[in-house]
Amino acid sequence: MCNFIHCMSRLLQPNKSVLILLNKMSTKKYKYTKDNVYLTDEQRDFYEENGYIVFRNLVDFDLLDECKNRFLEYCDGKVNTVHMTIMRDMSLKHTDAKGEFLINKIQDFNYDDALFKYVAFKPMVDIVQSIIGSNITSAHTMLINKPPNSKEDTSRHPLHQDLHYFPFRPAELIVASWTAMEKVDEKNGCLFLVPGSHKGTLLKHEYPPNVTNVAYHGVLGLEHLPTVNLPMEKGDTVFFHPLVLHGSGPNLTKGFRKAISAHYANTNCYFVNVTGTLQDNVEKEILKMAKSKGYPNVTFDMIWKVKSRIVRGEPGKFQNFDSQL
């Protein structure tokens, strides 16, 4: 009898590796990433803790060069830009700067076949899937150019959280990719961010003094927070949570600084009414822009739905055009 009990208790006792696994399963609670094959535990832990993660040499140079050439075609007026948002550096607007020397951002290129190749680039979407899940829509796209000769205050991008611009939730089912199209460092305006700030809440954004670029809102009074600069080589890519406080420095060189970026959301993100909230100012500004382009009756959620494009998986609440907020 005694022997029988001893044998049974030995049999029921998990071995060491099972114990480690059980321990891991019970103590590790992931909030900001998904169980997935594309991120190691170390990479997940880093993202969970800091709200961002950098992958070196992720995006092919040929693809980035194709995107750059397409951008130059937009700058040179060779492509119809009616469905795109083209932004100009405000400090250069009244100079003789033209094209690539003036345009500091193009947005909303989900339906441009050349630029969409970046958004759909498989190694990048695999990482996105590990963060927000397998049903993925591209909600926002930007190619950001910092031309030379811009005023310092205009060339920098103030500290902000991307969620400020988005009327959809939850935040942990949204992630940005941002890829350097050439070497970026402190001299030409690399990204900087506040690690761990994704654990906070959405803050009030407004135009900082001396900022004139359209919709370059920032959070004021946080200059004391410790930031990390992210110098990168061409092809390096950072993924970051939409509550991460970030910005970029001015381009102080005689060259350009280009980066390309997409915001991905799980297709089951849902829309929220931001009227009367901290996001009221950005909603008003975007609706005013839409009105000036001839869309006086469009709603904020409708703008986001129309410009989005599914990248992987099934459609969800994001694609529900019947909802009235």
Ligand X SMILES: O=C(O)CCC(=O)C(=O)O
Residues that bind ligand X in the complex, under the rule CB under 6 A = 142, 144, 157, 162, 189, 191, 246, 248, 259
Reading the block at residue 256, the tokens are: 């350009």
Q: How far is the CB of 161 from ligand X (least distance, A)?
A: 9
Rounded Cα distance, 291 and 286, in Å: 9
Q: Which is nearer to ligand X, 191 or 269 (CB)?
A: 191
Q: How far is the CB of 142 from ligand X (least distance, A)?
A: 6
Which residue, among 218, 216, 244, has the nearest Cα to 54 in the 3D structure?
244
Q: Which is nearer to ligand X, 51 or 189 (CB)?
A: 189
Q: Which is nearer to ligand X, 70 or 105 (CB)?
A: 105
Q: Per residue, what are the HEC states of 236-278?
A: CEEEECCCCCEEECCCCCCCCEEEEEEEEEECCCEECCCCCCC
Give the CB-nearest residue to ligand X.
Answer: 248
Q: How far is the CB of 191 from ligand X (least distance, A)?
A: 6
Q: Which is nearer to ligand X, 44 or 105 (CB)?
A: 105
Q: Which is nearer to ligand X, 243 or 268 (CB)?
A: 243
Q: How far is the CB of 105 from ligand X (least distance, A)?
A: 7
Reading the block at residue 4, the tokens are: 């029988």
Rounded Cα distance, 257 and 145, in Å: 6
Q: How far is the CB of 297 from ligand X (least distance, A)?
A: 27
Neighbours of 235 (CB within 10 A): 18
H helical segments located in 105-257: 113-119, 122-132, 152-155
Determine the residue type at 130: S
Q: Which is nearer to ligand X, 70 or 246 (CB)?
A: 246
Q: How far is the CB of 288 from ligand X (least distance, A)?
A: 19
List the end-to-end C-alpha distance of the chain, in Å, as a whole number: 70
